[in-house]
Amino acid sequence: MSLLWNWLDEGRSAPSRATRRQRLVYWFGRRLALSRGGVEIHPTALVHPEARISARGGRLRIGARSTIAAGAIVQGTVTIGDDSSVQAYAVLVGYGKEPSPPGAITIGHFVRIAPHVMIIAAQHRFDDPTRPIHGQGMKHAPITIEDDVWIGGGAHIMAGVRIGRGSVIGAGAVVTKDIPPFSVAVGVPARVIRSRLATPPFPGYKEPDVMKPINPETTP
């Protein structure tokens, strides 16, 4: 089957509607994902049939014009907004059921999730050293990625973290704490190296109402 998709989509893992064959691939990918319970996908979203999509008893939503590449894994209670993309081999796993899932993942609009990013809203418990870790259960905590965030390749986002709007997370970062809006954060553990608001914004830029300057000293 994999060979068939590869032939039809001309080797592209990033979704494209360029040719009829590619449109057929993404039509099939959407139908396949929708055939599973708890999955809602906007008709304009592109989901590759080789992405692993399953609500796992929760609720999984993919918004308008968003794209899920071949090899991506998106499972459990996950909401992806509009115009967002999840690239090859990124893994997103949310936990729990509505109305109050303890480990939901919420991805905003215009979010870019690069290849090999890991976003898993749970950790193993390991308090008792006398028992195997796998028998001690899981600790869930929600993960929120606000609008217009770019997460670089291979970054890991830990359970319980919120990444503020407009932020950039460097390749390979391990994000263990909340990141304020419009930050650039890199490293292990991720540290904010600068604010995007510290440089003069383009002419006509208006700060969104919900945003507060991260550094009032340097923010115009």
Residue 15 or 76 with smaller CB distance to ligand COA: 15
Q: Among this protein's residues, is 116 annotated catalytic?
A: no
Q: On the CB side of 143, how many CA atoms lie within 13 Å of its CA?
A: 27
Decide if 196 contacts 183 (C-beta within 8 A).
yes
Q: Does 96 bind ligand COA (CB under 6 A)?
A: no
Residue 106 or 167 with smaller CB distance to ligand COA: 167
Q: Does 153 bind ligand COA (CB under 6 A)?
A: yes
Q: Which stretch binds ligand COA (CB under 6 A): 67-75, 78-86, 120-128, 183-191?
A: 183-191
> Which listed residue (186, 192, 198, 211) binds ligand COA by CB under 6 A?
186
Residue 86 or 114 with smaller CB distance to ligand COA: 114
Q: Does 187 bind ligand COA (CB under 6 A)?
A: yes
> Which listed residue (193, 205, 215, 218) binds ligand COA by CB under 6 A?
193
Task: Show the tokens assigned to 23.
Answer: 């449109």
In the bound complex, what is the minimum distance in angstroms from residue 163's beta carbon to ligand COA?
A: 13
Task: Tell me which residues in 104-133 interact with ligand COA (CB under 6 A).
Answer: 114
Count CB atoms within 10 A of the CB of residue 125.
13
> Which listed residue (168, 175, 179, 214) binds ligand COA by CB under 6 A?
168
185 in helix, strand or coil?
strand
Residue 39 or 145 with smaller CB distance to ligand COA: 145
Decide if 45 contacts 66 (C-beta within 8 A).
yes
Count CB atoms within 10 A of the CB of residue 150.
16
Decide if 152 contacts 137 (C-beta within 8 A).
no
Nearest CA among 7, 114, 10 for reference residue 69: 114
Distance CA(167)–CA(181), nearest Å, equals: 6
Phi/psi region, residue 116 (left: phi>0; alpha: psi -120 to 50; beta: rest), is left
Q: Which stretch binds ligand COA (CB under 6 A): 3-11, 119-127, 180-188, 200-208?
A: 180-188
Q: Which of 48, 124, 134, 156 is an active site residue?
A: 124
In the bound complex, what is the minimum distance in angstroms from residue 5's beta carbon to ligand COA?
A: 23
Distance CA(156)–CA(169), nearest Å, equals: 10
Amino acid at 106: T
Q: Count of residues binding ligand COA (CB under 6 A)?
A: 11
Please name every residue paired with 67 in a beta bridge, in sequence order, or none if there are none. 46, 85
Binding site for ligand COA (CB under 6 A): 114, 152-153, 168, 170-172, 184, 186-187, 193
